[in-house]
Structure 1
Amino acid sequence: MGTITNILLCSFVVGIAQTTVILQPDRPFLKEQVNHAAELKCCYITSENSLKFHWIKQDANKTMSTHFSRHTHAVVLSQRVIKGNITDSGKSCGTLTFEPVELNDSGFYQCSLKDKLVSHGTYLQVYKPMKKTINLSESTKNQILTAEGVLLLLCVLVPSSILLRKSKRLNEQKKKKAKKEEENIYQGLNLDDCWSTYDQIERSQAHGQYQDVGNIKEEEEQIQLEKP
């Protein structure tokens, strides 16, 4: 009885060893332009010569998960979507090729091995390049750049010239104002009064501040006395 049990245990261990699968890291993200070719891979190491697998997909608008869910569905193969298998140096890789890829191919792809083991998976993003709204030639682009340069130069020169003219005008107004104030100083003055005052000052300086009393008798007939 013990011998039979040992044989069964050994057979079970050998069977497990034969079906052991070691998953290799997958490419986590792949971005490809629409209408271009794209290839996904899921690699693994196994002791078996061939291992059955199929590809499963979760759509781009669904929550990604490494396990089966109601949002996961098998990839439909066609002439455009091709499944393959590559073996190299003891490592096997399942491939899924899109020739070409379309926008609705975006999603999360995984390999299902023996309907129990699922690979890490790769997210495929398909994008459509933006089209030019305005198709301009090189000469037109150069003309636009030249016009932008001229406008930029005008934006610098025009305000500067306006400021210079304004500063010059302010300086002229200040000069006119100073000249006008200087002229207002002499307005209202009587020139005759000025000359009479000047004569008095000159005469007082010529005769002195006081009168000589000793010569009064000799000069009283000729001139009139001036009081100090």
Structure 2
Amino acid sequence: MYNKYSKQYNVIAASSTVGIAQTTVVLEADRPFLQVQVKHAAELQCCYTSENSVEVHWIKQDGNTTLSTRSPRHAVELSQRVTNGSITVSGRLCGNLTFNPVELIDTGFYQCSLKGNDFNRVSHGTYLQVYQPMKKTLNLSESTKNRILTAEGVLLLLCALMPSVTLLWKSKRLNELEKKKAKKEEENIYQGLNLDDCSSAYDRIERSQAHGQYQDVGNIKDEEEQVQLEKP
């Protein structure tokens, strides 16, 4: 009986010791997102407090997967470009993962794996996004840009003035055509008239108005004078 109870006591004590060891590691909040341009340096950090010795390892989940096809986490491969280290900041222990420089393949979700004698914990993690800026298709100087803007302004001005100028030119053309048409119609009115006939008719009208329509034959003294009467 004593051995049985003592064995159970030892198991409970050992489990409580492991629980205390796990609670001695306190993780701090990680930076959730970091965006870095390609060929630049990048540094990931996870900080914690612990009373026991801790080994820090970095694990990664690739960022080129979707939610339906998540890639498994794997250990980060260290090299001359990717290095791992640890520092102490204000009494805190921080694990650093440095990329110098960072590449497009480094995009992914990174977490710290904290391992001790009796515990193994994983930090909240940081998503590293590596982007490549867009390259200029045309490398233009400032003077060239100013000339292009000036040309665009002139073209816009011409586009605004051309409809008005065209409308004025059309209206002027229509006025000239109307004048030519009126002049031609006026010439057609007098085209069938004979000027000699018009002159003789005009003379007869003038003579009739000057002498009257009838002549008094009683006042003629010379009977031998030839009498010429005008017809009424």
Using structure 1 for the length normalisation, give the TM-score.
Answer: 0.68
The correspondence of residues 34-45 of structure 1 with structure 2, limited to 5 A, is 34-44=38-48
The correspondence of residues 184-195 of structure 1 with structure 2, limited to 5 A, is 184-195=188-199
**Secondary structure at the counterpart of residue 100 of structure 1:** coil
Q: Does structure 1 residue 60 correspond to structure 2 residue 63?
A: yes
- Contact map agreement 2:85 2:95 (CA 8 A) in 1: yes
Q: Does structure 1 residue 124 correspond to structure 2 residue 125?
A: no
Identity of aligned residues (%): 57
Q: Which runs of no fewer than 5 residues in structure 2 stay unpaired?
A: none
- Contact map agreement 1:85 1:93 (CA 8 A) in 2: yes
Q: CA deviation at 1:38?
A: 0.4
Q: 1:48 to 1:178 in 2, by over 3 A?
A: farther
Q: 1:119 to 1:63 in 2, by over 3 A?
A: farther
Q: CA deviation at 1:172?
A: 3.7
- d(CA) in 1 for partners of 2:143, 2:231: 99
**Secondary structure at the counterpart of residue 178 of structure 1:** helix
Aligned to 2:30: 26
- Contact map agreement 1:57 1:75 (CA 8 A) in 2: yes
- d(CA) in 1 for partners of 2:91, 2:16: 22
Aligned to 1:75: 76
- d(CA) in 1 for partners of 2:80, 2:67: 27
The correspondence of residues 1-228 of structure 1 with structure 2, limited to 5 A, is 16-20=19-23, 21-44=25-48, 46-63=49-66, 71-89=72-90, 91-114=92-115, 117-133=121-137, 135=139, 138=141, 142-143=143-144, 145-146=146-147, 149-150=150-151, 153=154, 156-157=157-158, 160=162, 163=166, 168-206=172-210, 215-218=216-219, 222-227=227-232
Q: CA deviation at 1:123?
A: 1.8
Q: 1:176 to 1:41 in 2, by over 3 A?
A: same
Alpha-carbon RMSD across the aligned residues, in angstroms, is 4.2
Letter of the aligned partner of 1:73 in structure 2?
H
**Secondary structure at the counterpart of residue 200 of structure 2:** helix
**Secondary structure at the counterpart of residue 217 of structure 1:** coil
Letter of the aligned partner of 2:51 in structure 1?
E
- d(CA) in 1 for partners of 2:32, 2:197: 110
Tell me how many residue pairs correspond in the alignment: 216
- Contact map agreement 2:112 2:123 (CA 8 A) in 1: yes
- d(CA) in 2 for partners of 1:203, 1:170: 48
Q: CA deviation at 1:165?
A: 5.5
Q: Which runs of no fewer than 5 residues in structure 1 stay unpaired?
A: none
Q: 1:82 to 1:150 in 2, by over 3 A?
A: closer
Q: CA deviation at 1:35?
A: 2.3
Q: CA deviation at 1:74?
A: 0.8
Q: 1:26 to 1:152 in 2, by over 3 A?
A: same
- d(CA) in 1 for partners of 2:18, 2:148: 80
- d(CA) in 1 for partners of 2:151, 2:130: 43
Using structure 2 for the length normalisation, give the TM-score.
Answer: 0.67
